[in-house]
Chains A and B, each alone.
Chain A
Amino acid sequence: MAEQSAAMMLQIEEVTKNFGGLQALSSVSIAFTAGEFVGLIGPNGSGKTTLINCISGLYRPDVGLIRFGRETISHLPPHRIYRLGIGRTFQISKVFNRLTVLENLRIPALTEGKLHRREVDARSREILTQITLAQHGHVNAENLSGGQRKLLEIGMVMMTDPEFLLLDEPFAGVHPELKTKLEDYLRQLNRDGKTIILVSHEMASVFRMCQRLVVLDHGVLITDGPPEAVRSDERVISAYLGGPHET
Chain B
Amino acid sequence: MLFFSQLANALVIGTLYALMSLGLSFIFGVLKLVNFAHGEAIMLGGYLYYLLASLRLPLPLALLASIPALFLFGVFLERLFLRAPYQRKMARYDEYVILVTFALGIFLQNLAFPIFGPYNRQAPPLFKGTIRLGELVIAGDRLTGALIAFAAIGILIFLLYRTYLGKGLRAVAQNPRAASIVGIKVLRMRSAAFGIGVTLAGVAGALFGPIFLVNPEMGTSFAVKAFVIVVLGGMGSVTGSVLGAYILAIVESFGSILLPDPTRALAYKDAYGLLLLVVVLLARPQGLFGEKERRA
Within 8 A of B (CB), among A86-102: 90, 94, 97-98
A53 proximity list for chain B (CB < 8 A):
295-296
**A49 contacts B by Cβ under 8 Å:** yes
Interface residues on A, range: 10 to 19
The residue on B at minimum CB distance from A88 is B296
A90 engages B296 (CB within 8 Å): yes
The residue on B at minimum CB distance from A58 is B296
Shortest A46–chain B CB gap in Å is 16
Cβ 8 A contact of A20, one of B91, B292, B295, B296: B292
The residue on A at minimum CB distance from B291 is A20
The residue on B at minimum CB distance from A92 is B296
Shortest A53–chain B CB gap in Å is 6
A98 proximity list for chain B (CB < 8 A):
91
**B162 contacts A by Cβ under 8 Å:** no
B296 engages A19 (CB within 8 Å): no
B295 proximity list for chain A (CB < 8 A):
53, 58-59
A90 proximity list for chain B (CB < 8 A):
296
A49 engages B294 (CB within 8 Å): no
Shortest B177–chain A CB gap in Å is 16
Interface of B is mostly: loop
Within 8 A of A (CB), among B75-98: 91
B296 proximity list for chain A (CB < 8 A):
49, 53, 58, 90, 94
Within 8 A of A (CB), among B282-296: 291-292, 294-296
A142 proximity list for chain B (CB < 8 A):
91
A97 proximity list for chain B (CB < 8 A):
91
The residue on B at minimum CB distance from A90 is B296
Q: How far is the CA of A142 from the CA of B91 in the complex (A)?
A: 10
Q: How far is the CA of A206 from the CA of B120 in the complex (A)?
A: 73
A19 proximity list for chain B (CB < 8 A):
292, 294
Contact with A along B90-117 (1 / 0, CB 8 A): 0100000000000000000000000000
Shortest A164–chain B CB gap in Å is 18
Q: How far is the CA of A98 from the CA of B92 in the complex (A)?
A: 11
A59 proximity list for chain B (CB < 8 A):
295
* B residues contacting the other copy or chain, number (CB 8 A): 6
Q: How far is the CA of A97 from the CA of B91 in the complex (A)?
A: 10
Q: How far is the CA of A58 from the CA of B293 in the complex (A)?
A: 13
Q: How far is the CA of A97 from the CA of B291 in the complex (A)?
A: 28
Shortest B78–chain A CB gap in Å is 27
Q: How far is the CA of A142 from the CA of B295 in the complex (A)?
A: 21
The residue on B at minimum CB distance from A78 is B296
Q: How far is the CA of A20 from the CA of B295 in the complex (A)?
A: 14
Contact with A along B267-295 (1 / 0, CB 8 A): 00000000000000000000000011011
Shortest A59–chain B CB gap in Å is 7
The residue on B at minimum CB distance from A91 is B296
Q: How far is the CA of A137 from the CA of B294 in the complex (A)?
A: 33
Shortest A99–chain B CB gap in Å is 13
The residue on A at minimum CB distance from B92 is A98
The residue on B at minimum CB distance from A142 is B91
Shortest B76–chain A CB gap in Å is 33
Q: How far is the CA of A58 from the CA of B295 in the complex (A)?
A: 8
A58 proximity list for chain B (CB < 8 A):
295-296
Shortest B235–chain A CB gap in Å is 16
Q: How far is the CA of A90 from the CA of B291 in the complex (A)?
A: 24
Shortest B238–chain A CB gap in Å is 19
Shortest B109–chain A CB gap in Å is 33
Q: How far is the CA of A53 from the CA of B296 in the complex (A)?
A: 8
Q: How far is the CA of A153 from the CA of B282 in the complex (A)?
A: 33
Shortest A93–chain B CB gap in Å is 12
Shortest B91–chain A CB gap in Å is 8
Shortest B242–chain A CB gap in Å is 22
Shortest B286–chain A CB gap in Å is 10
Shortest A54–chain B CB gap in Å is 11
B294 proximity list for chain A (CB < 8 A):
19
Q: How far is the CA of A19 from the CA of B122 in the complex (A)?
A: 51
Q: How far is the CA of A94 from the CA of B291 in the complex (A)?
A: 24
B91 proximity list for chain A (CB < 8 A):
97-98, 142
A20 proximity list for chain B (CB < 8 A):
291-292
B interface residues with partner A (beta carbon < 8 Å): 91, 291-292, 294-296
Task: Offer 15 A-B interface pairs, CB within 8 angstroms, sorted by A.
Answer: A19-B292, A19-B294, A20-B291, A20-B292, A49-B296, A53-B295, A53-B296, A58-B295, A58-B296, A59-B295, A90-B296, A94-B296, A97-B91, A98-B91, A142-B91
A interface residues with partner B (beta carbon < 8 Å): 19-20, 49, 53, 58-59, 90, 94, 97-98, 142
Task: Apart from A53-B296, A97-B91, A98-B91, list 12 A-B contacts with CB within 8 A.
Answer: A19-B292, A19-B294, A20-B291, A20-B292, A49-B296, A53-B295, A58-B295, A58-B296, A59-B295, A90-B296, A94-B296, A142-B91
Among all A-B residue pairs, the 7 with the closest Cβ atoms: A58-B296, A53-B296, A58-B295, A19-B294, A90-B296, A20-B292, A20-B291
